Chain A
Amino acid sequence: MLDKIIIIGNGIAALSAIKAIREVDKDSEIHLFGEEVFYPYSRIRLSKGLLSTLQEDKILLQKWEWYDDNNINLYLGSKIVSIDTDKKVVKLYDDGLISYTKLLLAAGSSNNKPNITGIEKPGVYSLRTLQDAWDIMDGLKNSQTILVIGGGVQGLEIAWALVQMDKNVIIAQITDRLMSKQLDEKCSKILKNKVIEKGVKILFNANVSEIIGKDRVEGFKLSNGEKYECDAVIYSIGTRPNIDFLQGTPIDTDRGIIVNNRMETNIEGIFAAGDIAQYNGNIFGLWNIAIEQGKVAGYNMAGRDTKYKYVPPVTTLNAFDLTLFSMGIVDETMVTDTMVEENIGDNTYKKIFIKDNYIKGAIVVGNIRLSPVLKSAIEKKVSLEGVDYKNMPIDDLIQLLKTK
């Protein structure tokens, strides 16, 4: 009997799964459900493309005809509200029921909403969907001063787009530095200086407690009592998996859906991948990891036994006339050696984190052209045994790694 596969969510994890399924099995029925009205598109393009006209057809993950060519039934604007794992049916927003033999949960994540008085006011935005991007661009036309809550990658990319639109930008960061998960202190400082140089005001250790304004945003207040004026707010403080629709099902969840190394949940025939999945206690919310997880889920659903291999998280940022790359472990306390090179004048910085003769992480600011060499060395676990790296410029080490 042919499988009838239902995929909930149509982001990159879902599409990666479909490619894997179709590689093995051309005939099973695939029904792909997305909540948004748009054809599957590249979400990571949104924060990078705020300055351009973000058109649906320019950011598609696959061409329109790909779905027909691959025999996929695509349902747009179709939210799945619940699952009956005993009867093997999903329930749609309009109460329609559809049966399945295998199910992939790839419904992604939503932006965390800060618990702040006034967060519902008109003039407060968050960027998750293409519609959000359009709303932001439309809503900010007449805004002059914008508060960005969150100094992570997305917050910084949004702030940079706003600076280029000649807006006054204030970043409120809850910790004492920017991109604290991906950068060491020194690198955060380089980034901070560059952001300030471009006219952005950064408030560190800033806990926004209230959005002020009668009918719409007029300012904000910090928990220490300080008040600032602004006329719009964009929050970007991380994401949480969309697992609410699984309530009442026997599918194991914690913060996300718990999966094994085949991306299978505790219920046979039900898989999860991408931002919604929790593997080994981790939810990464990263594009490259969603692709790998989707692929593994797809192969296993199609009957090709495949195990998930750890994919080290990689972050790159192009903003504020600065290019940076960060990968793997960037915490000195977790490694045995580091190599550092810095040139303050031209804002370049390289740091390599080594543990027991293996490169575990790296940060590169400036020219990141050679950063794939470091990425390969980390992924392929290239040994530095016998290499006198402590007395070697980093560029020489990189050239040496290229030959390994």
Chain B
Amino acid sequence: MAHIQFCENNFSHGTEEVVNKLKDENYDLEVESCLGFCGDCAVSPFALVNDELLQADTPNDLYEMIKDYLDN
């Protein structure tokens, strides 16, 4: 089972919609108060999946990136 983590400070980039979509698809995920990647968090949507930093320009791109990661 993949370990998916989001930072709530990243929600101002719209990342919450990625969280909601994945939740609707019954993925197990965590939303933390800080993941420690503040420099990246300030710039664009991101998530940690199995301790890998996934960054994208838009929430939708991030969603696709996570799905790609999980499917492969």
Genuine A/B complex? yes
Is B9 touching A316 in the complex (CB atoms < 8 A)? no
CA distance A265 to B10 in the complex (A): 31
Is B38 touching A376 in the complex (CB atoms < 8 A)? no
Our pick among B12, B38, B52 for the contact of A369 (Cβ within 8 Å) is: B52
Our pick among B36, B38, B42, B51 for the contact of A373 (Cβ within 8 Å) is: B51
Is B9 touching A61 in the complex (CB atoms < 8 A)? yes
Is B53 touching A42 in the complex (CB atoms < 8 A)? no
Given A58-B12, A314-B38, answer yes or no on A372-B43 (Cβ-Cβ < 8 Å). no
Chain B: interface size category: 10 to 19
The stretch of A132-140, A166-174, A196-204, A283-291 that contacts the partner chain: A283-291
- Residue B26 lies at the interface, judged by CB distance under 8 Å to chain A: no
Is A292 touching B40 in the complex (CB atoms < 8 A)? no
Closest to A317 in B: B39
CA distance A369 to B47 in the complex (A): 11
Contacting residues, chain A, for B42 (C-beta < 8 A): 42, 44-45, 48
Our pick among A315, A318, A368 for the contact of B43 (Cβ within 8 Å) is: A318
Given A371-B53, A402-B50, answer yes or no on A16-B33 (Cβ-Cβ < 8 Å). yes
CA distance A291 to B33 in the complex (A): 7
Is B40 touching A316 in the complex (CB atoms < 8 A)? yes
Is B34 touching A292 in the complex (CB atoms < 8 A)? yes
Is B37 touching A316 in the complex (CB atoms < 8 A)? yes
Q: State the Cβ distance, A252 to closest chain B Cβ, in Å.
A: 27
Closest to B5 in A: A372
Interface residues of B in 6-52 (CB under 8 A from A): 9, 12, 33-40, 42-43, 48, 50-52
Is B37 touching A372 in the complex (CB atoms < 8 A)? yes
Is A370 touching B12 in the complex (CB atoms < 8 A)? no
- Residue A295 lies at the interface, judged by CB distance under 8 Å to chain B: yes
Q: Which of B35, B37, B42, B54 lies at the interface centre, i.e. has the most chain A CB atoms within 10 A of its CB? A: B42
CA distance A19 to B52 in the complex (A): 27
CA distance A153 to B42 in the complex (A): 14
Closest to B32 in A: A291
CA distance A19 to B39 in the complex (A): 22
Contacting residues, chain A, for B53 (C-beta < 8 A): 368-372
- Residue A262 lies at the interface, judged by CB distance under 8 Å to chain B: no
Closest to A46 in B: B42
Our pick among A291, A314, A376 for the contact of B51 (Cβ within 8 Å) is: A376
- Residue A311 lies at the interface, judged by CB distance under 8 Å to chain B: yes
Contacting residues, chain B, for A369 (C-beta < 8 A): 52-54
- Residue A59 lies at the interface, judged by CB distance under 8 Å to chain B: yes
Is B34 touching A370 in the complex (CB atoms < 8 A)? no
Is A44 touching B50 in the complex (CB atoms < 8 A)? no
Contacting residues, chain A, for B37 (C-beta < 8 A): 314, 316, 372
CA distance A10 to B33 in the complex (A): 17
Q: State the Cβ distance, B64 to closest chain A Cβ, in Å.
A: 16
CA distance A376 to B51 in the complex (A): 8
Our pick among B33, B39, B48, B50 for the contact of A316 (Cβ within 8 Å) is: B39
Contacting residues, chain A, for B43 (C-beta < 8 A): 48, 318
Contacting residues, chain B, for A59 (C-beta < 8 A): 12
Contacting residues, chain A, for B39 (C-beta < 8 A): 44, 48, 153, 315-318
Interchain residue pairs with CB less than 8 A apart (15) = A19-B33, A61-B9, A288-B36, A291-B9, A291-B34, A311-B36, A369-B52, A370-B52, A370-B53, A371-B53, A372-B37, A372-B52, A372-B53, A376-B51, A402-B50
Instruction: Give chain A's interface residues, CB within 8 Å of chain B.
Output: 12, 16, 19, 42, 44-45, 48, 58-61, 153, 286-288, 291-292, 295, 311, 314-318, 368-373, 375-376, 402
Instruction: Give chain B's interface residues, CB within 8 Å of chain A.
Output: 9, 12, 33-40, 42-43, 48, 50-54
Apart from A60-B12, A314-B38, A316-B38, 6 more pairs, CB < 8 Å = A16-B33, A45-B42, A287-B34, A318-B39, A373-B52, A402-B51
